[in-house]
Structure 1
């Protein structure tokens, strides 16, 4: 009896194993260790963290693009994807034994490692774009004891991984009672570098000669105007409740009598001909004390000559600034908790009164009629000069979990989907008419809307529909979700990377934000802008990313949906115009972990704990 039981048990195990076997992939990758996280990058490379280390996957070959096992298991908090670049930084170890490696996930090349370059302690590491450089500060084992214990700065070319130049903060062996620690990101200029230290800012030539030093200590980050003659340095207090801003001349002299003080942390800083626009975020830190700071942003406008606030009264925000745009006549801003306002560079309110809106302003953009805004509760177009409503009253809907919108150029109307209904809005009058209903299964709301030759396409995770220009349904396809718990496992790689890239320095956040109000629905222009930005840097990896952003996305004409098929759980490719299934990939896994590269048209699927399958979705 026991033998029969064992035989049946073995058979069930074998059948279970067979049932989990996925369809034959186009490529397969043995990761070499238990997979913990998968990250889909902007370049289409899948970066996989396992118990053994980090690997890169680029379809076209069954070989791994790179395999990095020097640090063993890599945790999510030890990874930093450098925004708008082909680089990922792996950082491990404590302050006294910090280890860092930079990997190009397009070429698979390891460009920098602290061990390979003999850094025994790293104070700071940051990238300078568009120069395409890595700047490292710390202690390097390259000489005698004096040299090994003297703080050093080195610049590496990220195009080839080679060192450009390096220098010591002060001559090795020099007797000093002062402790020189690099406290923030150095600023790389055309002919020099500024290094913030615990004793002040030090300016060095690119050959290491000291040009000047000043006494502005413990600066976190810096930025400069286009001429590089005016430098602004930012120092945060220990609690993070306030910052001081210093202005420094080309010779290192402080140009303001006193530092400008702002509450909270600076998240946006713009150098303008009229002055300096500053947005800082204050946080209560969860405290309920009456003395705690409010959770809101402050907007200030400083004199570039004196650092004094030019506005007698700062505009009230009563929340965090979600949108911030520099206009010809002033500053336009939108608040996450609701509300839009515009203020001139001399501090005068340009709108007749602050515009009330719903929470979570998802869209603020130029249209021929004025500024369109779309929130989770309402939408309207307003006059950008006065703030007057173009539409007599805003389009109202319940607080929607998803709002999709587009402009139907052929019929001159906005189509806005919310609350299971598509509303057609006249762009000039705001007159609203019911266009169609969207009765999506599993209580889903459309998350995307797109104009097609045959009508209006709407899609969500499990539903897709095409509606003709008269509001009649052409087709509606619904694909049942495998299980509710599945969706906790399939967070998109693009989202994962986005959350990672948010963890960048304040310098990157403030300096990289050009704050220009875009045109409604101009996605192609944004892709073209990114493509040109990548191409301008010049390396082969950036050129690859440039060409990728010029290409048509694989999801332009099809949608990929995870569902339960006759033979098991799988991914279906469905044509947006016909609603017909063009491809099925059976995964046979009730809770699959996968990523879809929308641009490249590749499905990455975790087939086993240490195995990834890749499928070409374009075929």
Structure 2
């Protein structure tokens, strides 16, 4: 999550059991002078605030006024030079291109503050590729080193580093140093780290290397971009995207490097999702044909089921998507998918349509999840529950509403009903009968729509940036609090949840752990499930920083019983803390800034506020 000059307002909560008098909190709990002009702030998944400045990169971790780290070796760091590794406690700083002899790359553990790898500190002249492999917690680097004789300095090398210690495990050359050859060896994609070897895709084929550097086997499959393996590592799939990104070739490789398919499989477009199954490989690929001739076909997703034995498409005629696949789930009897432009269907592994007919839905499917009654789906304009076997509607008729600016939902277990907020109405759907009724009108002040629905002990809470409203179980209003925004410039988008699961191409290094369940249809839950799923994906990794990050993923939000609203107070612009159960104002934090730049860590319970060009204040919201 990044903060720029545009205000980004997070709705957060705070555990409070007793209402107290409002108190001023201008004095921060921690102050940080980052030493240079602040250009960008990023709240990481691990809870550390990483700040890019004119002098470098700074890490902030409340609990001390000292900086966690202050990386100044590269001077000014631009936001686009940072890569935060998903579901891992690392940020990669990269300056200079691959062909630039002065290209610089550093890996920082933003939980401990340690620099684990740098091109300068590890004698690399050129780094061609740099990839983090999880759950092994390793770093795989390829390029040219400065050490060795002249021949070795000019021979492509690969090294594996332990990210728990930063020390090199082993390294090897792609070809023999000094050996005259007309072949050019270069790493062309992301290496795949397996239990007893590493597979390196190169311009001359895939190489399998032991930790000793010994070559186990070589494949003639050239220019592969990325690879994945099944859990037992008996089947390896290699993906090669052509230069204009219109097609992807897929190869299946055995444990000895042999090609298991007589011919490679080809799918149109770029692979965006996949799942290795006993039947073979289920693949989603996207085509992007805007601006091209009519003969290029539509811009849409393609779905294929490639047979394990020969790579042939088991479906022959793939199901029509007429849009992009937004949801893709692996079920016992087949594949369930939802289309962004509207529509849900289910296909068996042998290509038979399992629903009586494709289910028509509104556009933008926000939610697909399992319930005791079947599959619930919620879009920007309708909702229903359908039978997962047949596709039949469970509710007598789908809930329809105008294409809403904001749609939110919750399950009221006390009264066995689903609650959906849209179009200034709160709808109630009986979980047993499917009967739909309007529970309450929910018009908010300030031309806002409710963006959150939450079931509390004392009723139903509706929230937005500037509004909070608590309804009783019959839909009558208990209270409504509204605080006017300090101005248009202070209105910001709500940043909800955590970074979504990466696309297939960026997630391949951690596929065998973190992405194993990414295509599993989850149970309908109110909140926090995505964070918990990230924690499940990290469970196989080791290391103190990984363990600390895992605790955060598994924890309940530290701020769960109050909301903070930005408004104009008597002493200037600031935040008010409101109790979610009573609406009472419990605290004011005066920021003394008409356009405050700030971010709230709702899991850690910390407010970060950029007090001036060089300073950040942090407030402990758990008090």
Q: TM-score, normalised by structure 2?
A: 0.92
Q: Are the counterparts in 2 of residues 80 and 503 from structure 1 also a CA contact under 8 Å? A: no
Structure with greater contact order relative to length (CA < 8 Å, sep ≥ 6): 2
Structure 2 Cα separation of the partners of residues 389 and 378 of structure 1: 13
The 5 Å alignment of 1:331-370 reads: 331-370=335-374
Deviations 1:19-60 (A, max 9, x none): xx9922111111111111111111211111111111111101
1:3 corresponds in structure 2 to none
Question: 1:486 offset after TM fit, Å?
Answer: 2.1
Q: Tell me, in whole angstroms, the C-alpha distance in 2 between the residues paired with 1:602 and 1:158.
A: 28
User: 1:588 Cα shift?
Assistant: 1.2
User: Can you give the 5+ residue segments of structure 2 that lack an aligned partner in the other structure?
Assistant: 1-23
Cα contact 2:338–2:365 (8 A) shared by 1? yes
2:234 to 222, 229, 232: 229
Aligned to 1:616: 620
State the 4+ residue runs in structure 1 displaced beyond 3 angstroms: 497-504, 508-511, 522-536
**Deviation digits for residues 414-445 of structure 1 (CA, Å, limit 9, x no counterpart):** 11110111011112332111211112112211
Does structure 1 residue 239 correspond to structure 2 residue 244?
Answer: yes
SS at structure 1 position matched to 2:552? helix
> What CA distance in whole angstroms lies between the structure 1 residues aligned with 2:385 and 2:510?
29
Q: Which residue of 1 aligns with 2:89?
A: 86
Deviation at 1:549, TM superposition (A): 2.7
Unaligned runs of 5+ in 1: 1-20
Q: Matched residues in 1 for 2:371 and 2:553: separation? A: 25
**Is 1:40 equivalent to 2:43 in the alignment?**
yes
CA separation of 1:509 and 1:332: change in aligned 2, threshold 3 A: farther
Match of 1:447 among 432, 438, 451: 451
* Structure 2 residue 322 is the aligned partner of structure 1 residue 321: no
Cα distance in 2 for residues equivalent to 1:592 and 1:501: 31
Q: Could you tell me whether the CA contact under 8 Å between 1:47 and 1:55 is conserved in 2?
A: yes
Task: Give the alignment partner of residue 187 of structure 2, picking from 182, 185, 208.
Answer: 182
Q: Does structure 2 retain, via aligned residues, the 8 Å contact 1:82–1:501?
A: no
1:509 deviates by 8.6
| 1:79-109 deviation per Cα after TM superposition (whole angstroms, max 9, x unaligned) | 1110011111111102223211111111111
Question: In 1, Cα distance between the equivalents of 2:314 and 2:121?
Answer: 51
Structure 1 match to 2:217: 212
Cα distance in structure 2, aligned partners of 1:500 and 1:307: 27
1:410 is displaced (CA, Å) by 1.1
Equivalent residues in 2 for 1:601-612, closer than 5 Å: 601-612=605-616
Residues in 2 aligned to 1:26 and 1:211: alpha-carbon distance in whole angstroms: 57
SS at match of 1:507: helix
TM-fit CA distance, 1:527:
4.4
Partners of 2:504 and 2:370 in 1: how far apart?
Answer: 29
Q: Distance in 2 between matches of 1:232 and 1:294?
A: 27
Over 3 Å counting, the alpha-carbon distance change for 1:93 and 1:500 in structure 2 is: farther
Residue 373 (1) aligns with residue 377 (2)? yes
- 2:301 matches 1:301: no
SS in 1 for 2:611: strand
Q: In structure 1, how many angstroms separate the alpha carbons of the residues matched to 2:296 and 2:564?
A: 48
The structure with more helix, counted as a fraction of residues: 1
User: Whole-Å Cα distance in 1 between the matches of residues 500 and 613 of structure 2?
Assistant: 24
CA distance in 1, matches of 2:25, 2:593: 8
**2:201 aligned residue (196, 202, 217):** 196
Q: 1:593 to 1:90 in 2, by over 3 A?
A: same
Q: TM-score, normalised by structure 1?
A: 0.93
CA RMSD of aligned residues (A): 1.9
Q: Which residue of 1 aligns with 2:535?
A: 531
Give the corresponding residue for 2:80. 77
Q: Secondary structure at the match of 1:291?
A: helix
| C-alpha distance in 2 between matches for 1:600 and 1:241 | 44
